[in-house]
Amino acid sequence: MIGMMKYNLGIDLGGTNIKVGVVDENFQIVAKANLKTNLPKPDAEIADDIATACRLAVREAGITLDDVNSIGIGTPGVADRNSGIVLYSCNLGFENTNLRGLLENRLGKSIYIENDANAAAYGEAIAGAAKGYQNVVVITLGTGVGGGVIIDGKIYTGFNYCGAELGHTVIVYGGRECGCGRKGCFEAYASASALIYQTQEAMKAHPDSKMWEIAGSLEDVDGKTAFDGMRAGDKTASDVVEMYINYLGCGLVDMINIFQPEILLIGGGICKEGDNLLTPLKKIIERDAYCINPRQATRLGIAQLGNDAGIIGAAFLHHLDQ
């Protein structure tokens, strides 16, 4: 019977959506609920909506909150997992917000909180492409470059919960300005946004590029445009792809040299390019990463869980206290 199994709820809290998954003991999501976040609004109202989404999810699964072991939440910003307080999240307007207290009052369950990127990395480590590995780095290539680090099976956050801001390491001194205010950040060169920018700049410089035909206009350029152009035999597109992969490879080598993980995963829409991305990246890593014994070299892989990683990781945050 479904009620005999214990479940955990995983919450992926974002600026646009509150996504809740009911996750079974085998890391499978058995039901989901989704509500719009509808910001800005007070902390208490966000907590009300999270609680509502949790109740919708358990109803969808055909269970009750009595069947739920614990509830974990991945939130943007700096989350103090020990106190349950979100120290700061500009997206949500949180500042020293006792998210654990707010949700425990509404749901009557143990609540665990973590930064959303860290929760997603943990999800990949326990149930995704890094399952079975104890030392893992996950890099997500999206609007920015997100990251999470797992060391000896535990999420690494640093003493102040700000650790693993991997996108804000510098790969080009004095380079392109990043959204964080620094110049030359990994994010400014290797995010999907950066690839779009690099593609647009190349198109402006080369009006005869096939990428104009592929995209239609500068406004319609996306992360696939340059790869599509490369496949169509366009030299300008091939140059963009090569440069982007060189920047990405540079940053990934830095991560390997710092952490020496057993496996490094990359995620995000760009990873749908598969071997067009992985094959040259592996060559760069083999050439440049600091590794004395090739049999103990970091493996490079693609994240498997997609948007479910944060839900699954959050659902099992209670394991970190065991």
Q: What digits encode the pLDDT tens for the residues 100-113?
A: 999 999 999 999 99
Largest CA distance in the chain: 65
pLDDT at residue 3 tops 70: no
At 207, which amino acid appears? P
Q: Give whole-number Cα distances, 92 to 76, 270, 299, in Å.
A: 8, 27, 36
The residue type of 136 is: V
Confidence of residue 79 (pLDDT cuts 50, 70, 90): very high
Q: In what order do the strands lie in the sheet with 94-98?
A: 78-80, 85-89, 94-98
Q: Does the domain made of 133-303 have the CATH classification 3.40.50.720?
A: no
Burial of residue 42 (CB within 10 Å: 0-12, 13-18, 19+) is exposed
> Which of 180, 189, 171 has the alpha carbon at shortest distance from 254?
171
**Residue ranges of domains in the chain:** 2-124+308-321, 133-303
Q: Which of 281, 280, 254 is nearest to 266 (CA)?
A: 281
Asked if residue 134 lies in contact with residue 152, where contact means CB atoms within 8 angstroms, the answer is: yes
**Three-state DSSP class for 164?**
coil
Contact status, residue 276 vs residue 270, Cβ threshold 8 Å: no
Q: What are the tens digits of pLDDT across the range 178-219?
A: 989 999 999 999 999 999 999 999 999 999 999 999 999 999
CATH superfamily of 2-124+308-321: ATPase, nucleotide binding domain (3.30.420.40)
For residue 272, pLDDT over 70 is answered with yes
Enter the DSSP assignment of 291. Answer: -
- Say yes or no to pLDDT of 279 above 60: yes
Provide mean pLDDT across the span 50-68: 97
DSSP state at residue 170? B
